[in-house]
Structure 1
Amino acid sequence: MSDRTILVWFRNDLRIHDNEILLEAVRKADKVLPVYCFDPYYFQPTSSGAPKTGSFRARFLLEAVADLRKNLQGFGAELMIRIGNPADVIPQLAEEYHVNEVYHHREVAYEETNISEEVEAALWKMRLNLKHFIGHTMYHKEDLPFPIKDIPDSFAVFKKKVERDSNVRSCVPTPDHISVPEITDAGELPTLQQLGLTEPVDDPRAAEYFQGGETAALVQMHKYFSQLDIAVKQKNGRNGTEFSSKLSPWLSIGCISPRQVYWEIQKYGSNGNLLKLELLWRDYFRFMFKKHGQKFIKAKDEVQDLAPDAELLLQKWKNGETGVPLIDAAMHELNATGFICNQNRQVVAGYLVNTLKADWTQGAAYFEEKLIDYSPASNWGNWAFIAGVNDAKESKYAIATKLPKELEAKTDFVNTWQPSSIDEAGDLVSA
């Protein structure tokens, strides 16, 4: 009797710890075939000519995939790497390695779900099943106190009911060993040039360098909670004991899971409430996309009440040439590093939408290109929320309604020629 082989298709779940599809495949199959596919779709130019994925995010992704391969090798396995359309690559590998079933984590945004459907259709022709798992949220869909179709559209109501009536599942165990079939060609990690991008230049003003991968994610998580532990003991943390976790880049591609972060937060009681709130916002946006699909952000082609010179204003916003120091500093930092703190994301988005009256979808697309921690549901959900097009009644953050002059901060990015100290306000895990 031949061995049973399951292909594990990694996408935005680039980790070994708390990874249900990997553990389930190890338990259900004799051999596991881990695969990551670089889809050219995500590296093609957009209609504006800009890359869909910028160099900083692409480099972070390459580092994460390389780290996943290294970690899998530590468990006796190997990661197969391919470049191409997953609807072609996955079936080809399934046939070559006599795969019995394919596992992957389900996505919610339309581009990602369309790709899944194409892969599923191609596998179905081979009489193979693509099994879907839920693994990107803090609360599991099956544990919500309501079916997806009845999830409250109000975040406040959603939060109240979920926290009262639901529990976060424990993290799943890590496999002891992963057996793989004999692999003839594991494939090489592509270069940025092969993906059509150039090497990003690290700006010396950047407060952080984000290294992709589960290894760096775990280091950052332990670093944050060590700092939180010290702050709790000394009672000198920012906003009580809350300060930046800077975990969002790793959360965005699943180098670490929201559940892992949640169970660490639980050790600190109310001192981790703000970080927990941000994780819940991430859940909310994903569930809203699951419930409404593209309707959650309305049609992207919907006519907006734009300023007569909206295109010019948009370009000045992108370049950090609005004349408002905080706005310009945040955009300079975004362009130079691929990252800005969540507070400033709310401010620059609100300024583009409410003051400049420019096209919010273009702002969201620009964030998609630039942000290291881009996540479709969080990014488009945040922008639609600020633009007021998804029928949200309450403001996501009071910060988004304040005028920029109330939030002035010293930063090296205010003026290229007059650097000063970098503000230590950080990200709140919202891409």
Structure 2
Amino acid sequence: MLSSLLWLKQDLRLDDNPALQAGLHSERLLPLYVFDPRHWRIGPLGCRRQGVHRTRFLLESLAALDVALRQRSSSLLVLHGEPERLIPELVARLGLQQVLTQAEIAPEEQAVQTRLRAALGKVALLELPGNGLLREAELPCPPDRLPQVFSRFREQCEARLPVFQPQPAPNALPPLPEAALDWLQPLPSLSQLGLGEPLSVPSSSFPFAGGEAAALARLRDYLWDSQGVRHYKDTRNGLIGSEYSSKFSPWLANGSLSVRRVLAELRRHEALYGRNDSTHCLWVELLWRDFFRWTLVRHGRALFRAAGMKATAHAPQQLDERFERWCRGATGMPFVDANMRELAATGFISNRGRQVVASYLINDLQQDWRHGAAWFEEHLLDYDPASNWGNWVHRAGVASDPRHARAFNALRQARQYDPDASYVSLWMPELRSVAAHLRHTPFLLPRLQLEALHYPRLEQVPETWRPYLPGAA
């Protein structure tokens, strides 16, 4: 009788899950999630790998997954410890014959998988495709020959558009190994994981719950009910509210939502309602996500080094109190500070906001980009190693695509995307008493007035900001 362990990680769903599909051939199947304590320890760059917002979202996702499993006469086992130590012990005690899990593409996760394979000995560890869009056989060429510039990657992929047939969630699952019932335990709380309880923020741009049911509900709403996807190109640079973008990314990041399911539904939508610039824009964003995944596969640890993928490039490597002020949302540049406060309070900021604050840290504050990437890693709901570190190396100018090394003019961005300062007003209550036309530039206020607001003064106004200062200045 074949008994299998299904080790779930960033694939917390039943729909279109290759590792789960492989487990359907077993007589007994034990779904497992391991809380690895290393994820909540302070790392070498001064941040946790996972903070309170993503952990809360993870716990919601696991609770939803357990409900779905129980509806199919199964259940989710959760354990605490290092997977490469716990899993071989569990396999031995329960007499399991194989371990099924998703393949990893990031170096640290690959290292854990390698140690697990060695510890399992003769027990097979089968690695199934992760939550990427294109499998290796579906690429236009071998991974080591893929274009390193996104525009060419996109051209080659669009020359042979893939058609996906995602596998639906099974109606039934193999029963648990009998002895596994003694191992079942409730999910931990945030406090048991050493984290506090995050405050509920009514103005969050991501007011959604974790889990596959919530992910599929959002997919259904955005593509079919509200059809927000048809306006995506016009709204994608928004800053306030839940509807300016798809908001799929947190569910994609922990695998509650299959990216191949998203694309299949997008193609079905286009077949019924027609393709427009907005539906095409969403497809391009899905391609960007895959471009970063294959960049990580190709370059590995280089993506996490100061020089990135360019040994000759020189990104700033200093770190001082300006980084701490950036983290706290106290730089004196309101548009940057508003985004950083939203991130700390909710775990989410817009794509536009991410680009602006990253550019500001690197180009205006001249700080080490890796610490910014690590801060994002801890705080973002939708952290994904390939997309996060890939975007940061592009912004730092140490990627393979030179077009993304340009610096953003933060004040110009603020004027363009927050013209009435409504976003700054939302997240910066100390500036609400300032005249609206000065809320982006409080550094122009008299010293005593600014001190009364308890908001820091910007030390130096860049010359490039002059055209975007208020006329009265």
Whether 1:73 aligns to 2:70 is yes
Which amino acid is 1:133 matched to? L
Whether 1:203 aligns to 2:201 is yes
Whether 1:163 aligns to 2:158 is yes
* CA 1:89–1:225: 2 relative to 1, 3 Å: same
Whether 1:136 aligns to 2:121 is no
Please state how far the C-alpha of 1:91 moved relative to its aligned partner.
1.0
Give per-residue Cα distances to partners, 1:314-351, cap 9 Å, x unaligned: 11111111222211110111111111011110111011
Which amino acid is 1:98 matched to? G
Aligned residue-pair number: 409
* CA 1:353–1:418: 2 relative to 1, 3 Å: closer
Please state how far the C-alpha of 1:405 moved relative to its aligned partner.
2.6
* CA 1:239–1:300: 2 relative to 1, 3 Å: closer
Which amino acid is 1:57 matched to? R
Question: Which residue is equivalent to 1:172?
Answer: 167
Question: After superposition, where does 1:54-65 map in structure 2 within 5 Å?
Answer: 54-65=51-62
Q: Supply the distance in 1 between the matched residues of 2:349 and 2:235 (Cα, whole angstroms).
A: 21
Whether 1:311 aligns to 2:320 is yes
Question: Which residue is equivalent to 2:39?
Answer: 42
Give per-residue Cα distances to partners, 1:33-59, cap 9 Å, x unaligned: 111111111011224654331111111
Q: Supply the distance in 1 between the matched residues of 2:228 and 2:392 (Cα, whole angstroms).
A: 35
| % same residue | 35
Question: After superposition, where does 1:324-343 map in structure 2 within 5 Å?
Answer: 324-343=333-352
Question: Which residue is equivalent to 1:429?
Answer: none
* CA 1:52–1:385: 2 relative to 1, 3 Å: same
Question: Which residue is equivalent to 2:387?
Answer: 378
Question: After superposition, where does 1:8-23 map in structure 2 within 5 Å?
Answer: 8-23=6-21
Which amino acid is 1:157 matched to? R
CA contact (8 A) 2:303 2:389 kept: no
TM-score (ref. length: structure 1) = 0.89
Q: Supply the distance in 1 between the matched residues of 2:282 and 2:83 (Cα, whole angstroms).
A: 35
Question: Which residue is equivalent to 2:182?
Answer: 184
CA contact (8 A) 1:329 1:415 kept: yes
Question: Which residue is equivalent to 2:288?
Answer: 281
Unpaired segments of 5 or more residues in structure 1? 422-431
Q: Supply the distance in 2 between the matched residues of 1:78 and 1:6 (Cα, whole angstroms).
A: 14
Please state how far the C-alpha of 1:159 moved relative to its aligned partner.
0.8
CA contact (8 A) 1:140 1:169 kept: no
Question: Which residue is equivalent to 2:439?
Answer: none
SS of residue in 2 equivalent to 1:60:
helix
Question: Which residue is equivalent to 1:416?
Answer: 429
Question: Which residue is equivalent to 1:24?
Answer: 22
Give per-residue Cα distances to partners, 1:410-431, cap 9 Å, x unaligned: 224442245699xxxxxxxxxx
* CA 1:191–1:345: 2 relative to 1, 3 Å: same
CA contact (8 A) 1:327 1:404 kept: no
Please state how far the C-alpha of 1:241 moved relative to its aligned partner.
7.6
CA contact (8 A) 2:104 2:130 kept: no
Question: After superposition, where does 1:350-429 map in structure 2 within 5 Å?
Answer: 350-395=359-404, 401-408=408-415, 409=418, 410-411=422-423, 412-417=425-430
SS of residue in 2 equivalent to 1:394:
helix
Please state how far the C-alpha of 1:200 moved relative to its aligned partner.
1.1
* CA 1:324–1:86: 2 relative to 1, 3 Å: same
Whether 1:53 aligns to 2:60 is no
Question: Which residue is equivalent to 1:253?
Answer: 254
Please state how far the C-alpha of 1:208 moved relative to its aligned partner.
3.2
Cα RMSD (Å) of the superposition? 2.4
Question: Which residue is equivalent to 2:84?
Answer: 87
Q: Supply the distance in 2 between the matched residues of 1:350 and 1:200 (Cα, whole angstroms).
A: 28
Which amino acid is 2:137 matched to? E
TM-score (ref. length: structure 2) = 0.81
Question: Which residue is equivalent to 1:150?
Answer: 145
Unpaired segments of 5 or more residues in structure 2? 237-243, 437-473
Question: Which residue is equivalent to 2:456?
Answer: none
Which amino acid is 1:111 matched to? E
Q: Supply the distance in 1 between the matched residues of 2:85 and 2:426 (Cα, whole angstroms).
A: 44
- The structure that has the greater radius of gyration is 2
Which amino acid is 1:264 matched to? E
Moved more, 171-180 or 243-252: 171-180
Which amino acid is 2:262 matched to? V
Whether 1:346 aligns to 2:355 is yes
CA contact (8 A) 2:222 2:229 kept: no
Moved more, 97-106 or 9-18: 97-106
Q: Supply the distance in 2 between the matched residues of 1:218 and 1:68 (Cα, whole angstroms).
A: 13
